[in-house]
């Protein structure tokens, strides 16, 4: 006779869920503040690393553009870029601190309660399995008894509480299998969903606002063109210039997207550290001008340095709007698909820039618009 476990579940006591302040990762700096300033620190370190590669001409075989000739195409000096980047991070940190006013330290202590709640859901869901099997004519209890000697966990999953006695229950009222699954959901499943949701929010927001900057001619020429065109003064991007942009773009395209993502996904301070730092590294990687064979981001999707560099070319402005994934570009047909055509245009740009550089006595021979237009339209020069 199957043991009666009704009283076992009815007598379950919810663990104590008293929240307590979480000790900071770094003594003297709250996690909230660290989550705000850490992306800037990561930006400085990663940007400085690639700057050293540029200065000492290291790993030049992996560069997208020739280091000397192509930098002459940019329509802004490195000093101007650095000023805008400092402004960007000043705004980012200032807004983060303002939004953090009144927030106390992160609170912890509810993990056992969350595990208890998820385990309760799993336990009840598990007891629906034999009912579902019975509906299609399968004797769940008989099947469970047949495999009990091989796999008790699978047998319990198939037969619900028919095979679960008090001796198989922990003091919490749950089986080992239920607790393992509940802990996995709380420690891995929920955070993974939060990160995915945050990524979805940021990627969607940036794709459509970025595309609007290029597709709406009225807005482009009257307002957004003035704003977003600042970022496109870098035909040849480099790492520390990754966030070079007009302050309005900094506010509405970048900072706002991450504020929304954090609120919608309910990221904790430490989750924000991870998410913000990885996003920063990805942005640096997109603008660094190098394509390394071991680039981890290219293992995830095709959105890498070449993908974004193509968008910075005058002939690629209407393509590759995404920053983190290729989902929206692929779905809406804005991914540049002509690989051979892109290589031919890059080759032509390199040749024209080298020719113009040789003919010019200027120390910095920034590309004129006629050259860019010629490349975009395939006109012989």
> Which tens digit of pLDDT belongs to each residue from 153-208?
677 777 766 555 555 555 567 777 788 899 999 999 999 999 999 999 999 999 99
Q: Which residues pair with 29 in a beta bridge?
A: 26
Q: What is the pLDDT of residue 360?
A: 61
Q: What is the pLDDT of residues 289-315, one digit of tens each?
A: 999 988 888 888 889 999 999 999 888
Secondary structure element (H or E) that encloses residue 142, with its range: helix 140-147
**What pLDDT is stored for residue 34 in this prediction?**
97
- 349 within 8 A of 367, measured Cβ to Cβ: no
Mind listing the pLDDT tens digit for each residue in 266-296? Answer: 999 999 999 999 999 999 999 999 999 888 8
The predicted structure's pLDDT at residue 169:
58
pLDDT the model gives residue 9: 37
pLDDT in tens, 79-122: 999 999 999 999 999 999 999 998 888 888 888 889 988 988 88
pLDDT over 50 (residue 363): no
Q: Which pTM value belongs to this model?
A: 0.84
Sequence ranges of the domains in the chain: 27-108+191-369, 110-184
Q: Name beta bridge partners: 107.
A: 21
Which of 8, 19, 195 has its CA nearest to residue 119?
8
Element of type H or E holding 135: helix 129-135
The pLDDT of residue 2 is above 60: no
| Spatial distance between the Cα atoms of 66 and 261, rounded to a whole number of angstroms | 37
Question: Mean per-residue pLDDT for 39-52?
Answer: 97
Average pLDDT value for the chain: 83
Q: 265 pLDDT exceeds 90?
A: yes
Closest CA to 248 of 75, 91, 76: 91
Helix (H) or strand (E) holding 199: helix 190-215
Give the chain's end-to-end CA distance (angstroms, integer). 91
114-166 pLDDT, tens digit each: 998 898 888 888 778 878 888 888 887 788 778 777 777 677 777 766 555 55
The phi, psi pair for 251, rounded to 5°, reads -75, -50
Residue 256 reports pLDDT greater than 50 = yes
Q: Is 52 exposed, middle or buried (CB count within 10 Å of its CB: 0-12, 13-18, 19+)?
A: exposed
Distance CA 321, CA 316 (A): 10
Cα–Cα dist 308/266, whole Å: 29
Mean local confidence (pLDDT), 337-349 = 88
């Amino acid at each position: 006779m199957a043991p009666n476990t009704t009283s076992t579940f009815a007598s379950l006591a919810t663990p104590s869920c008293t929240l307590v302040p979480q000790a900071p990762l770094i003594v003297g700096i709250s996690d909230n503040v660290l989550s705000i300033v850490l992306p800037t620190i990561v930006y400085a370190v990663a940007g400085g690393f690639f700057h050293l590669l540029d200065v000492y001409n290291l790993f030049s075989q992996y560069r997208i553009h020739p280091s000397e000739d192509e930098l002459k195409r940019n329509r802004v000096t490195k000093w101007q870029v650095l000023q805008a980047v400092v402004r960007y991070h000043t705004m980012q940190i200032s807004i983060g601190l303002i939004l953090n006013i009144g927030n106390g330290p992160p609170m912890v202590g509810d993990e056992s309660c969350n595990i208890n709640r998820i385990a309760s859901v799993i336990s009840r869901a598990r007891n629906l399995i034999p009912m579902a099997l019975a509906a299609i004519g399968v004797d769940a209890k008989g099947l469970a008894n047949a495999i009990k000697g091989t796999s008790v966990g699978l047998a319990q999953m198939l037969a619900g509480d028919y095979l679960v006695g008090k001796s198989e229950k922990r003091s919490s009222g749950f089986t080992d299998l239920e607790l393992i699954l509940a802990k996995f959901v709380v420690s891995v499943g929920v955070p993974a969903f939060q990160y995915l949701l945050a990524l979805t929010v940021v990627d969607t927001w940036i794709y459509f606002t970025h595309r609007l900057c290029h597709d709406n001619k009225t807005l482009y020429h009257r307002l957004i063109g003035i704003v977003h065109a600042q970022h496109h003064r870098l035909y040849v991007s480099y790492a520390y210039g990754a966030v070079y942009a007009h302050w309005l773009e900094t506010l509405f395209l970048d900072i706002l997207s991450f504020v929304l993502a954090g609120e919608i996904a309910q990221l904790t301070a430490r989750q924000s550290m991870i998410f913000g730092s990885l996003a920063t590294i990805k942005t640096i990687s997109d603008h660094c001008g190098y394509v390394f064979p071991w680039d981890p981001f290219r293992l995830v999707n095709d959105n890498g340095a070449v993908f974004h560099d193509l968008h910075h070319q005058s002939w690629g402005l209407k393509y590759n709007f995404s920053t983190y994934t290729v989902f929206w570009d692929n779905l809406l047909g804005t991914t540049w698909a002509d690989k051979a055509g892109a290589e031919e245009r890059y080759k032509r740009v390199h040749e024209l820039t080298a020719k113009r550089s040789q003919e010019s006595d200027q120390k910095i021979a920034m590309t004129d618009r006629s050259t860019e237009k010629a490349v975009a339209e395939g006109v012989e020069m």
